[in-house]
């Protein structure tokens, strides 16, 4: 009997890395997690890496040096002008594929390690977000760009849970994983869908849990109580890693598990 041998591949996806405390958690924990979990690929959402909003080449290079293979982004992609040309020249940092074609950067990439290839697609939701085209339409074209990859991971950066759940079902059996980002709060619905796609509505945030989704809590509370603008700084109290590990044979996922761990003190 002919048996097709498919190797086990393990992917770590890290939720929105927020400011210096989030970057430090990645630097501190990733080497140990690589050994503990036997990681082949690491993907991180970096849209909050620079001071809590956006990213510059400096923070992107720092994440790559820490062992991240691909960085995905979201609604804060273009906050810092200096990253615009970098998005065109560095192939492994992605902005949502359904942004306008005229906007800098690309929405898909394929990376290889030890004979296995991972295609990554970044998408933006459409509800309460400014994206050029519907995520659930653009995804068909984006998947053609990564069709040759052994595994495919999609980061759906969206506010609405409904859009993320819908994308998960739409792609079930076609990709290895659909992971949601943007809300900075991990959801309790990680599972492998019947067709073999690992799914979670939101991975959460890698940053300071002592703030309000990454902002110093007293500043956020003051704005909500006064309805007056005020400066926002990144929180640094109680940083945590929020991530998921996905194990797959071929393109089909076997398991998805949340990795929620305290980082070191700031
Ligand atoms: Fe974010
Ligand atoms: Fe976001």
Q: Which ligand is nearest the CA of 129, by number? A: 2
pLDDT of residue 4: 61
pLDDT digits (tens, 9 = 90+) for 123-176: 999 999 999 999 999 999 999 999 999 999 999 999 999 999 999 999 999 999
The total of other beta-carbon atoms located within 10 Å of residue 158's CB is 29
Half-sphere exposure of 165 (CA within 13 A, CB side): 6
Active-site amino acid positions? 76
Task: Give the pLDDT band of residue 266 (cuts 50, 70, 90).
Answer: very low
- What is the Å distance from ligand 1's center to 266 Cα? 20
* Burial of 231 (C-beta count, 10 Å sphere; 0-12/13-18/19+): exposed
pLDDT value of position 264: 73
CA–centroid distance, residue 213 to ligand 2 (Å):
11
CA of 77 to the centre of ligand 2 (A): 9
DSSP helix/strand/coil, 107 = coil
Q: Which two tokens stand for residue 50?
A: 């620079």
Sign of CA dihedral 151, 133, 84, 215: negative
> Which ligand is located closest to the Cα atom of residue 205?
1
At residue 3, the pLDDT reads 54
243 within 8 A of 37, measured Cβ to Cβ:
no
Decide: residue 36, CB within 10 A, 0-12 exposed, 13-18 middle, 19+ buried: exposed
Number of H helices, E strands in the chain: 6, 12
Residues with CB under 5 A from ligand 2 (ion): 74-75, 182
- Cross-sheet strand order for the sheet of 151-157: 108-113, 116-124, 151-157, 177-181, 198-200, 191-192
Tokens of 127: 């509800």
Distance 213 CA to ligand 1 centre (A): 8
Q: What is the pLDDT of residue 208?
A: 97
pLDDT for 10-62, tens place per residue? 999 999 999 999 999 999 999 999 999 999 999 999 999 999 999 999 999 99
Closest ligand, as measured to the CA of 159 = 2
Q: Using one digit for the tens of pLDDT, what is the confidence trace for 55-92?
A: 999 999 999 999 999 999 999 999 999 999 999 999 99
Contact, 159 vs 128, CB < 8 A? yes
């Amino acid at each position: 009997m002919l048996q097709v041998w498919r190797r086990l591949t393990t992917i770590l996806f890290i939720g929105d890395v927020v400011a210096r405390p989030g970057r430090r958690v990645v630097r501190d924990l990733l080497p140990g997690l690589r050994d503990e979990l036997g990681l082949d690929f690491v993907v991180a959402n970096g849209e909050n890496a620079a001071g809590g909003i956006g990213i510059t080449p400096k923070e992107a290079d720092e994440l790559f040096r820490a062992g991240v293979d691909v960085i995905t982004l979201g609604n804060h992609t273009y906050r810092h002008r200096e990253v615009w040309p970098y998005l065109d020249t560095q192939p492994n940092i992605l902005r949502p594929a359904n942004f306008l074609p005229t906007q800098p950067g690309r929405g898909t990439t394929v990376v290889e390690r030890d004979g296995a290839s991972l295609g990554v697609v970044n998408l933006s939701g459409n509800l309460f977000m400014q994206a050029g085209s519907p995520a659930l339409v653009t995804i068909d074209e984006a998947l053609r760009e990564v069709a040759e990859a052994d595994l495919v991971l999609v980061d759906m950066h969206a506010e609405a849970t409904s859009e993320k759940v819908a994308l998960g079902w739409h792609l079930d059996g076609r990709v290895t994983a659909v992971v949601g980002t943007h809300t900075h709060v991990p959801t309790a619905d990680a599972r492998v869908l019947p067709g073999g796609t690992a799914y979670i509505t939101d991975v959460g945030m890698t940053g300071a849990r002592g703030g309000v989704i990454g902002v110093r809590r007293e500043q956020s509370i003051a704005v909500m109580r006064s309805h007056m603008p005020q400066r926002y700084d990144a929180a640094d109290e109680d940083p945590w890693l929020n991530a998921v590990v996905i194990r797959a044979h071929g393109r089909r996922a076997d398991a998805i598990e949340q990795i929620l761990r305290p980082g070191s003190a700031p």
